[in-house]
Amino acid sequence: MAEERMGDRSEASTLLLMAATFVSRLLGILKSRLIALVFGSGTLSDAMNFSYNLSNNFRKLFAEGSLSASYIPLFASCEDDGRTARLYRQVASFLILIFALIITAVAIFARPIMAALSDFEGEGLEVAAFLLPPFTLFLFFISLATLSASILQTKRRFLASGIAPIFFTLTMLLSLWLLSDDVGYWSMAIGAVAGSLAQLAIVLIDFRKLGIRFRLDFHFAANEDFRTLMRSWLPASASSLVAIASQSVTMYLASRLEAGSVTALSNAIVFYSAPYGIVFASVNAVYFPLISRRKDERGRAAALSDALVNLTTFLLPAALVLASLSRECVASLLQGGAFTLDDTVLTASVLTAYLAAMLPMAFYAMLQRWMYSTLDYWRNLAVGVAVSLADIAFTLFYMSQGLGVVSMPLASLSSSLIGTLCLFPFVHGFDWRRFIHKGGRVIIANIPLAATVVLYGKWNPQFYTAGSTLRTLVLTIIAGLGMLAVALASYIAFKVDFLSALRNRRP
C-alpha cells in the first residue's frame, strides 16, 4: 500500500513538472521565433547560435549532467540536514572556484577558442567570440540554480524547480524584444545572463525554506561526502566531456555545411526539446532520486521500469504528432521576416529526424542515470566513449551520403540505440515481463494515432507555405489537437496507466 502511494505521488509530481516545463518550452519556441524574425538564418545567426550552444553543452558537465548525477544520489541518501547543508556549501564553493578560472580563461581566449572549434571567419568569428564570455557566465548561474533545485527535488519540493526556467525564458524574450534594435546580438547575451540570475533567484526563494544558508567552504578534504562526490564526478565528468566533444565536433561539421545549417540544427533542437524536455526532465527529476534512494535491487529496477514506461507513454505520441506536423509547426512559429520557406523545409527535415531519435535517446539517458545511481561510473564512461565515437562516425558516414545537416540527428539515433543496448545488461533484477506488458500496451495504443499520421501525410496539405499567419497557426493547432484526441481516446480504450496519474494530483 505504501509502495502504491509512493507511485501515485511520483506520477503526480511528474505531471506537475511536465506542466511547468510545458510552459517553459512554449516560451522557448517563442524565443526562437523572435530570434528568427530579428536575426534570420544567415552566417551571423549561425555564429550566435553556435556560441550559445557551445556554452549550453557544458550544462552536461556542471548543471543537469555529470555533476548533478553525482550529487543527487548523495543528497538523496543524506538523512542528516547538517550533512546536506555542508555538502551543498562545498559544492557551491567548488563551482565558484572552477567558474572563476573558466570565465577568466574564456574572456582572454574567446577568439582562439572559436577559431579552433568552428569554421567561421571574419564577422561571424567576431560575433561568436564576443558572445562566448557572457554565455559562460550564464552557465555559472544555471549551474548554481540546478544545484539548489536538485536538493529541493530530493526533498520532494518540485514547484520552484519546475517554474524557475519559465522566468529564464521570459527574461530572454524581454531582452530580445526591448534591446535587439539598439544592441543587436548583445541582447541575446544580456538576456541569457539576466535570465539565469532570475532562475537562480526563484529557486533560492523556496530553497531558503529548508534552512540551509550559503557561505564559502573550501575545506573539501575534511568532508568524506565531498571526497565521495569527487570520486564519482571525475569519471562522470569524463563521460560528459566526451559527449560535449562529440557535440562540438557535430556543430563544427554543421558550420562547414551550407549557410543556415547551424541555425536549422539549433531551431530543430528547440522544437524537439519541447516534448523531450517536458517529459524527460520531469520523469528524471522524480524517478532519479527515487531510484537512488531505494536500497533493494528489485525496487530500484521496478522504479527504472516505471520511468521507461512513462517515457514511452508520453514521448511516442508526441513524436508521431510533431513529426507529421513538423513543417506546419516550424512555418507557423518561425517563418517570416528573414526566415524563409526554404529555412522552414530544412529545419523541419532536421526536426523529423530528431523526433525519430527521441525515444532511444531518452532510454539511453535514463539508463545512464541508473548507472550513476549504482555508482558504476567507469563502465558508464566506457559506454559513453563508444557512443560518442559512434556518433561522430555515423555523422561522417551520413554526410558522405549527401544527407547534409540531417546527418546529425540520424547519427544521434544510431549511437543512442547502441548505448541503450550496451547499458541494459547492467540492470540487474529488471522485470522484463512487466516492462514488455506495460510498454507493449502503450505501443499498441499508439497504432490508431500512427494510422492517422499516415493518412495526414498522404493528404499532404500545403497551408504551411503561407508562413507565420493566423490561419497557418490555427490549422496547425486544429490538426495537432485532432491527433492528440485520437491518442487520448486510444489510451482510454486500452487503459494505459498514465490516466490514473491524471486522476491523482496530490503531490
User: How would you write the pLDDT of the chain (507 residues) with one tens digit per residue?
Assistant: 444 444 445 555 566 666 777 787 778 778 877 877 777 767 778 888 888 888 887 877 776 666 677 777 777 777 677 888 888 899 899 999 999 999 999 999 999 999 988 888 888 899 899 999 999 999 999 999 988 888 887 777 777 777 888 899 899 999 988 998 888 888 989 999 999 999 999 999 888 888 888 888 888 888 888 888 888 777 777 877 887 788 888 878 887 888 778 888 988 988 888 888 888 877 887 788 788 777 788 888 888 998 999 999 999 999 999 999 999 999 998 888 778 899 999 999 999 999 999 999 999 999 998 888 887 878 888 998 899 999 999 999 999 999 999 999 999 999 999 999 999 999 988 889 989 999 999 999 999 999 999 999 999 999 999 998 999 999 999 999 999 999 999 999 998 876 544 443 333
Q: Which amino acid makes up residue 193?
A: V
Among residues 187, 205, 237, which one ends one of the domains? Answer: 237
CA distance 456 to 460: 6
Contact 69, 372 (CB under 8 A): yes
Contact 339, 41 (CB under 8 A): yes
Among residues 237, 271, 292, which one ends one of the domains? Answer: 237
Give the count of domains, the chain. 2
Structure confidence at residue 121 (pLDDT): 84
Q: Phi-psi bin for 80: left (phi > 0), alpha (psi -120 to 50), beta?
A: beta
Q: Does residue 249 fall inside a structural domain?
A: no
Structure confidence at residue 133 (pLDDT): 93
Same domain, 270 and 313: yes
Same domain, 10 and 79: no
Q: Does residue 48 fall inside a structural domain?
A: yes
Q: Does residue 36 fall inside a structural domain?
A: no
Q: Does residue 252 fall inside a structural domain?
A: no
What Rg do the C-alpha atoms of the chain give, in angstroms?
22
CA distance 227 to 414: 36
Q: What is the DSSP letter of 336?
A: B
Q: Does residue 37 fall inside a structural domain?
A: no
Same domain, 203 and 275: no
Cell of 124: 561571424
Its domain, for residue 439, covers 1-22+259-507
Q: Is the dihedral of CA 224, 226, 228, 230 positive or negative?
A: negative
Write b or e for each residue in 39-74: b if 16 or more Cβ atoms lie within 10 A of its Cβ, otherwise e.
bbbebbbbbbbbbbbbbbbbbbbbbbbbbbbbbbbb
Same domain, 350 and 449: yes
The model carries a pTM of 0.74
CA distance 478 to 486: 12
H-helix or E-strand spanning residue 129: helix 122-154
Same domain, 9 and 113: no
Structure confidence at residue 198 (pLDDT): 94
Cβ count within 10 A of residue 154:
22
Q: Does residue 245 fall inside a structural domain?
A: no
**Does residue 195 sit in helix, strand or coil?**
helix
Q: Does residue 108 fall inside a structural domain?
A: yes
Same domain, 263 and 232: no
Contact 472, 464 (CB under 8 A): yes
The vertex-17 CA angle with 144 and 420, nearest 5°, equals 85
Same domain, 106 and 173: yes
Same domain, 208 and 303: no
Contact 500, 14 (CB under 8 A): no
Q: Does residue 181 fall inside a structural domain?
A: yes
Same domain, 2 and 80: no
Structure confidence at residue 67 (pLDDT): 66
Same domain, 290 and 333: yes
Same domain, 392 and 339: yes
* Residue 462 φ/ψ, nearest 5 degrees: -110, 15
The Cα-based distances of 111 to 12, 99, 244, 260, 263 in angstroms read 47, 19, 19, 22, 20
Among residues 237, 269, 294, which one ends one of the domains? Answer: 237
Structure confidence at residue 308 (pLDDT): 94
Same domain, 179 and 79: yes
